[in-house]
Structure formats: C-alpha cells, structure tokens
Amino acid sequence: ALLRAWMVSSTRTPQETAQRAFQLWQQRVEQAGQKPSVEFSHQVATALAEAGDVESTKSLVNEVIESYRSGKTHERKDLDFVSLLILAKCRSGQLLGAAQTLDDLERLSRQSSDPFIRPSNFCYNTLLEELAEGDEIGNALAVLKRMAELASTDSTEPNRKIHPSVSSWMTFLVALAKSDSIEAADKAEELLTMSGFLQERFGTTVAPDLFMYNCILECFLRNPDPQKFIPTAESFVLQMENNFGGVKPDAETYELFLHLLVKAQLAGKASRYLERFCRLSQKGVVPTKPSTSHFHTVILGFLQIGDPQSITTAFGLVQLMHSLAMKTDWLVRPKHETYRIILQGCKNSRADPNIPEKVLSMMEKNALGREDGPKPDTEMYVEIIACWASKGSPEALEHIQKFANHVPQHRIAQDSELYRIILNAYIRCGSTEMAQALSDAMMGIPGHCRVALEAWVEAKDYERAARVSEHLAHGESPAHLIRDSITIWRDSKLPGAGVCAERLLQYMEKTADKDYVPDESIYSDVLFSYHYAQDPDTVA
C-alpha cells in the first residue's frame, strides 16, 4: 500500500520513488522473518525498471531468482522477472544493450535447463516495441524474425509461448511508417516478402492487412529515393485492387500511392492511376471514391514539372473534377484552392494563356450549378493578373487592366502584396503611365512606397524610383522602411543610387527618435551605394 501511494505521488520523480521502494525492499530482506513477498518484489523491480535503474533492477532480480533456485521461495512462479532486465535497459536508453541482454539470456537458457533465465514472450514484445519506438527498425525486424523462428516451440506456459502482441505489432508498423531511418524502406520491403511466413507462424495477428500496406506506403514515401520502391508499391496496390488476400485499398492507400508517384516525378503515371481509381470506383470494384485531395496531389505533381503540356494536363484534371462533381454521391468538389493552384502553375511558364480565362469562366458561370460552388474573389483576379504579367507582352495589358478593375482600391491600399502584383504587372507589360498613376495613388502609405521603390529600381527607372525615395525621406516613414530602402538602393547599382541613399540617411540623422539613429552598417550601405554606382570621387 505504501509503494502504491509513492507511485501516485506528484512530489517525487519515478527514479526517487523506485529508489525509496528499493530501500524498503532491502530493509525487509535484512530483517529476520520479514522476507518480502514475491509479488511485492515484482512491484519494486517493475518500478526500478520503468525508472531505468539497470543496476538496482539487476540486483533485485538476481536475488529473487536465487531464492527460487535455492527453494526458499515457491510462490508466484508465474511472475516474469527476467523481462524486467530488458525493460530497465530500454528505459535507460540502452536499446542495443537490451538486445544484447536478450541474446545473452537465450544463450544461457540453451546451455542450462534453468527455467528462471529463459526469455519470456514479454521479453521479446518489450524489446520489439522499444526498438521500434527508438527508430531501430532493422533491429526490431530482427527480433520479429527471431520470434517467428521460436514460435513453433510448444509450451504449456502462456507467458513462455513466443507470439507478438497486438500492441507490439501495431507499434512496430506505426514506427515503420514514421521512421526517419535511411534503411526503413528497405526493411519495409523485407517485411513484405516475409509477411506470408509471419502469418504462417503467428496467424491473424500479423496477417497482411490494409493498415500494414498503408504503413509500408508511408515508409516508402519518407525515403529520399522513392523511385526505387515504385515497382513494389505498384505490385501490391494492383494486388489489393484485385482483392488479394481479402484486402482492398482505401482512400488513404491511393493518397499515399499518388504522393509516392508524384515525389518520384512520375506525374503522368499518377494521373493514369487516378483515372483508373475513378473507373474502379464507378464499377464498384474498390469500396472508396476519389476526393478533391487525390486530384490536388496529382495536379501539383504536374505543376512541379511546369512545362506547357504538364500545365494543360493539370487543367484537364480540373475539368474532370467538374464532371465528377456533378455526381452527387462523389466526394470530388473543386474548391478555391483548386483554381488557385492551377493559376499559380500558369505563372512564369509558357502555358496556354487561355487557361486563366477558362478557369475564371468556370467560376463566374458557377459551372458546378450549386450555390456553394466557389466564386471568383479579389485574390483570384490578382492571380490571373499575375499570370498575364508573366507573359510580359503589350498584348497582355488589356487583360490585366480588365481584371484590375475587379480589384477594389481599398483592398490594394490594405494589402501590399496585391499592390506589388498589380504594379509589377503594369511595369512588365510596358504601361509605365498606369503604373505611375497607381504608384501616385498609394504614395501616402509608407509600406506601399517601399514596394514601389523596389519595383521601379527593378525596372531600372531611376527617376521614378528617386521620386518615391524622396517621398520616403520627407514623410513620417517607420525606421525599418528607411533602412530597407537604403539597402534597396545599395543593391540597385543604379547611377545616382548613392545620392538617394544619402538623402534617406540624412532623414535618419535629423530625426530625434532613437529608433532612427543610424548604426555603422547604414553608413556602410550608403558608402557602397556610391561605390557600386561607380562614383569613386564621392566614395573618397
């Protein structure tokens, strides 16, 4: 009762509790006629093992085993003491030491018929779980193999019959799926090849099931070289589609498999499997249907490739989503994110310039025919502007102006990123007048001034950049914006950059606020603004 009270005490660490219990146990051993019961000894040994106290656990276990051997104790021979030696090493972080302890116990038990040192089923399951959770996947699989070899040994004692528990098997699979070990995927392949042997020895506990296959797919996905495992993954996914072993794939199976193909840069194959998934679902061959997430995975795979054909194929998948969305029992629903990622893919590429218009048309016409269908918003119009801006041609200007009319001025004033995209779009397409008008309209917002300065500097338009910089040097601009602007001038290497940077420095010098006091890095930036602009006289 005292031990149990200590165990729930919040004032002591597990290590302190275990040591107090061990001291109590030693006192009982030393007192004549007050031998501790085997059950109490097991409780104390368990506390010590859980606390990772290897030496104290070993001392106590050896004392109890010796009392069994000498015949001094006959009670509770069903209690498992020897497994606590392994648990103690695991809890102290000595995972490989625990594996060595098990090897030593196996060797000693082969040399002697002593039943008290024979490793129990709990020994193997404890070590299997601890190695798996410690990401020692290779060693954990070796323990599992060893258990399979010993599984045929008949024993009438329940705790001696070697068999993985449901808990240890599930722990192993979860650890395999989450493992960061470079060898984990190879071990997952090895597990697949020996799954029949394990099932023969252990029965249904370790029978290949959906959870095991999904864990193996997740393990493949975490490997830095996923292409190596594509044939294996394809093989068992196809087997599952054919109901091999009574196991059929679910939505997560396809999600992981498509991710694996995309990561291996096989977006085309991923698209074919996705279409196959749709056909099998329609026929009722697989008990699940594709979702929006499955399509997004493959669409993003094509966008990573980025060539015009891949962008067109990705848009084709969006159109397929639309046709499937008409079926009320399907889970495919194009969302704002769907349209946004396809538009982002159109940026900085030679993709069909009509795709953004088609995307917008889908949304404006509410192609899904439902009130909850995604409709174009400000961000969507800005994405389309960015697509046209990436073309950088005067022909794109008409489209940019049309879509810019859908973006309210107050939103541009509130969001510097929207402002940046629209301003740069005008500049890239050659309409400096429209860009100038927008820049002037936003001149009273310090953060927008910095954006404009960066845009004009990038366009090598010194006069307009200097005009914005002068406004910053006279307005009540935050200190960090002034510092950023000096850095922009330093990196511009434009003739006259030093003059503008020095004007900003003078503004900092004459402002009383301590936040504006320039440090030596600011003077250095101004100096290099002159230097990079090839003005040696001023530098001197």
Tokens of 205: 């506990």
Q: CA 94 from chain center: how many Å?
A: 28
HSE toward the beta carbon, residue 366, CA cutoff 13 A: 6
C-alpha dist (Å) from residue 19 to 2, 42, 394: 13, 14, 81
Six-digit token pair at 284? 């009722």
**One-letter identity of residue 398:** E
User: Token pair 């919040």 is at which residue?
Assistant: 10
pLDDT in tens, 224-250: 999 999 999 999 999 999 888 788 999
Determine the pLDDT at residue 238. 93
Confidence (pTM) = 0.76
Q: What gap in Å lies between CA 82 and CA 61, rounded to an integer?
A: 7
Q: Which residues contact 46 (CB under 8 A, 6 or more apart)?
A: 84, 87
Residue 275, Cβ density class (10 Å: 0-12 exposed, 13-18 middle, ≥19 buried): middle
Helices assigned H by DSSP within 209-266: 210-222, 230-241, 251-263
pLDDT at 159: 46
Place of tokens 């490997």: 223
Q: At what angle do helices 416-428 and 394-404 cross, to 10 degrees?
A: 150
The rounded distance, in Å, linking the Cα atoms of 528 and 501 is: 10
Neighbours of 417 (CB within 10 A): 11
- In angstroms, the CA 144 to CA 163 distance is 9
Residue 422 dihedral angles phi and psi, to the nearest 5°: -70, -40
Cα 255 from Cα 290, distance rounded (Å): 9
**Nearest alpha carbon to residue 384 among 376, 375, 374:** 376
pLDDT score recorded for residue 268: 94
Q: Show the low-confidence residues of the chain (pLDDT under 50).
A: 154, 156, 158-159
Question: What per-residue confidence (pLDDT) applies to 148?
Answer: 86
